[in-house]
Amino acid sequence: MSAPTIAREHIDQDAQKVIRHLVRNGYQAYLVGGCVRDLLLARTPKDFDVATDATPAEIRDLFRNCRIIGRRFRLAHIVFGRKIIETATFRANPRPASLDGTTAGSGKASAEDDEAESDAATDGSGSRGAESDVYLYRDNVFGTAEEDARRRDFTINGLFYDLESGRVIDYVGGLDDLAQQHLRTIGDPNLRFREDPVRMLRAVKFAARLGFDVEDETYRAMTAHHAEIQKSPAPRVLEEIYRLLRGGAASESMVLLRETGLLQFLLPEVSQLLRLHPTALDPYLALLDERVQVGDVPSNAALLSILCAPPLAATFDDATAPRDVLSFVDGVITPLCLRLRVARRDTERLRQTLVAQRRIAQARKRGGRLPAGLLGRDYGNEALGLHALFYRAMRMADGISSEISALEVQAWPLPQPLWLGDDDVVPASHGRAASSDSGRSYRSTQRAKSRDGRGPADDDADEPREASREEQSSEAGTSQESSHADEDAAIAAYTAALQRSQDFDFEDDE
């Protein structure tokens, strides 16, 4: 099926190079998936993916700048500087015909897939259950372009674009669903969600982000099989949760997670909170979406903080923060971090960000300077941004408008603007430098400059607005110094314990 031609200038030049090189060497190669969908919807694709009949080994032989990744699903990453063109071999359905009533792919599995299947059979995550267990433990059976389209998750993601002929290839009815703004699985949704339950989270993400309606049969299958999400590897689930929150439609995503029953299995603490207080997270998620829509890229620590926002709110005001902030924070975040197997580096950053909030509140209220140690920390950036978001959310919960709360934040005697992300990922619209190719962060190369581009930092700029405030009460000053010393000691003790820990990070399996 053909469709209006996509303007060539909207297609990434490096993706075009990859496709042309594959075609010149006798292979089929198309743009595929989300980039085709977004171009047809007049949206800017986040990235450009390529599908081809060349195997991963053959792709690697053609491109010197190629590396192969993945075990359950082998992919070629073709690297252009800091950009990656993900290139996948056409796959077929690996499922035996007896399980789904369709013909399994006739293509052969890769050698790496045989190894991955053997590993899956021996580790805890890959143990085979009863015959009714339809979870896919391997997905490296090569096939044709049509077979590849039919094994994808949703019709709107099963479209190919032929660069040479300038036409959209549609084997699955994706063009019709795009026109009608419907989200529909390819094939029986009851089977597709059981063989990979993470697809239910992807359904939530696409429906919320694109503003599409989930087709009735697909929606019923999500509500019927929501408990299957517990079978999915925790790192994959966590990555999808991050994407839901970071996609600019966190509020709508949370609504869909609750409606489909997924939230009670993903985040039981959040589900219980929202049963008692249905609107508790609304201002936090609305402000998160607002930040994303202006180009902010929230860190994982910031996203986890927002998920735990209501019980953590006390730590964002020095008047209500418990004295032993670290123990309080651990009591709130530990159950969630353990269940989702949050990476140790993100858990550490989350704790540090939250422990810093009392000192930020003190500087905000009293017009004093922030501790130099905080400004120099790699988590200082999102600690400030998170403080602004929590402040605005709590003000909005008290009936203050979003506009007024934003003006109040702008008047703070703190470095502006206030971001939720770290300095390696910078909204281009605000002109801040991104990290260099050497991997050095903005903070390490531009520490002398202020966030708003005023040039080298000046000692006077950080002076308290009322120089005599610290002298007004020597007793209060002594108390504040003692409080800061306690917090510094707590952070130092925690960091030392962390370095001695034998825990390890969990990485995504794909």
Active site residues per annotation: 47, 49, 153
H-type alpha helices, 83-233: 97-100, 111-122, 145-150, 174-180, 189-195, 198-210, 216-224
What is the β-pairing status of strands 182-183 and 213-214?
Answer: parallel
- As a whole number of angstroms, the distance between CA 369 and CA 463 comes to 6
Cβ neighbours for 345, distance < 8 A, ≥ 6 positions apart: 505
What is the β-pairing status of strands 66-69 and 75-80?
Answer: antiparallel
Eight-state DSSP code of residue 416: S
- As a whole number of angstroms, the distance between CA 497 and CA 490 comes to 11
Q: Which of 340, 90, 95, 53 is nearest to 196 (CA)?
A: 95
Distance of CA 357 to CAs 115, 377, 425, Å? 48, 14, 22
Helix (H) or strand (E) holding 443: helix 442-446
Number of H-type helices and E-type strands within the chain: 25, 9
The β-bridge partners of 86 are 49, 77
Coil/strand/helix, residue 265: helix
- As a whole number of angstroms, the distance between CA 168 and CA 399 comes to 50
Q: Which tokens go with 263?
A: 């939230």
Burial letters for 338-373: b for 16+ Cβ neighbours within 10 Å, e otherwise? eebebbeebbbbbbbbbbbbbbbbbbbebebbbbee
Backbone angles phi, psi at 288, to 5 degrees: -60, -45
Helix (H) or strand (E) holding 263: helix 263-266
